[in-house]
């Protein structure tokens, strides 16, 4: 057990590999058609993450956006060569809730093609995370497409119904196999992303400890742009502006604490520890 850690349970450290202009908060400002013209800032925060993970002896799961794999294939290969797991995050960050079944299958195929073209072997790509966690009860049909594609697991569902953009009430909080044959690794509500920046650190710690005390691994997620306080400030609605920019300067020091307080690994490692 890591010295000072609060639990022996291995939790999942996951990264949604996207840059500042790819996110849902920016979708009305920067459609994918103009992404090539935006400043690429992802290299520095990813370099920081790779050094942090190496320092703590942790391998992570990076869910890679297809368009970003096309733009910076060398960086994706660097992540893979460092021993981290590569999953899919869709092709152009379209929400599943905005797509038909046919469009989703096309998006998934393009994501596979982009990531493998970056040099990642097809056989090692086992997982998927939907942009904006947009697999919910009304998009459950997407799980069949994921299973049919050969993927082993999905980590898109938030077992919660109080958020306006995502959530699926009644879904188990523990890792479980779905009727479609794919394994679901539900997100741990409040453990990562904007919550990690907004909540005081003791609440983040409490959320993970509660999951571990219940015998469940906590699933942490972060985006590289959340480690980039110098990114361009775009005029957004007050809500979106707050969600995107709040406490960006606090992400790095909080990550250092988190890595010391909990045991982390890839989703593949977590699945093995839990008998999947």
Q: What is the C-alpha to C-alpha distance for residues 105 and 213, in angstroms, rounded to an integer?
A: 38
**What domains can be seen in the chain, in order of their start residue?**
10-273 (3.20.20.370)
Tokens linked to 240: 């979106």
pTM: 0.95
Decide: 168 and 232 in contact? Cβ < 8 Å.
no
What torsion do the CA atoms of 179, 138, 26, 30 make, to the nearest 10 degrees? 90
Would you write out the chain's pLDDT as a tens digit for each of its 276 residues? Answer: 555 555 689 999 999 999 999 998 899 999 999 999 999 999 999 999 999 999 999 999 999 999 999 999 999 999 999 999 999 999 999 999 999 999 999 999 999 999 999 999 999 999 999 999 999 999 999 999 999 999 999 999 998 876 666 778 889 999 999 999 999 999 999 999 999 999 999 999 999 999 999 999 999 999 999 999 999 999 999 999 999 999 999 999 999 999 999 999 999 999 999 999
Decide: 83 and 57 in contact? Cβ < 8 Å.
no
Of 212, 170, 177, give the one whose Cα is nearest residue 191: 212
């Amino acid at each position: 057990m890591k010295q000072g850690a609060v639990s022996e349970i291995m939790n999942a450290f996951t990264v949604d590999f996207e840059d500042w202009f790819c996110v849902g908060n920016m979708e009305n400002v920067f459609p994918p058609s103009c992404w090539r013209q935006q400043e690429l800032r992802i290299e520095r925060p990813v370099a920081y993450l790779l050094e942090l993970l190496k320092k703590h002896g942790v391998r992570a799961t990076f869910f890679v956006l297809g368009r970003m794999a096309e733009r910076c294939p060398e960086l994706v290969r660097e992540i893979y060569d460092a021993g981290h797991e590569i999953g899919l995050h869709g092709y152009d960050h379209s929400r599943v809730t905005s797509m038909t079944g046919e469009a989703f299958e096309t998006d998934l195929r393009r994501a596979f093609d982009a990531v493998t073209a970056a040099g990642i072997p097809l056989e090692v790509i086992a997982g998927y995370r939907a942009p904006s966690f947009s697999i919910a009860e009304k998009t459950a049909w997407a799980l069949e497409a994921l299973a049919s594609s050969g993927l082993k697991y999905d980590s898109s569902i938030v077992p919660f119904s109080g958020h306006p953009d995502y959530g699926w009430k009644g879904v188990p909080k523990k890792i479980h196999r779905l009727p479609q044959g794919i394994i679901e690794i539900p997100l741990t509500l409040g453990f990562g992303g904007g919550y990690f920046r907004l909540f005081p650190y003791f609440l983040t710690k409490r959320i993970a400890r509660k999951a571990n005390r219940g015998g469940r691994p906590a699933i942490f997620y972060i985006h590289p742009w959340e480690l980039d306080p110098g990114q361009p400030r775009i005029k957004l609605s007050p809500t979106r502006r707050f969600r995107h920019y709040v406490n960006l300067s606090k992400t790095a020091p909080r990550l250092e604490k988190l890595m010391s307080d909990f045991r982390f690994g890839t989703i593949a490692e977590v699945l093995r520890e839990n008998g999947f």
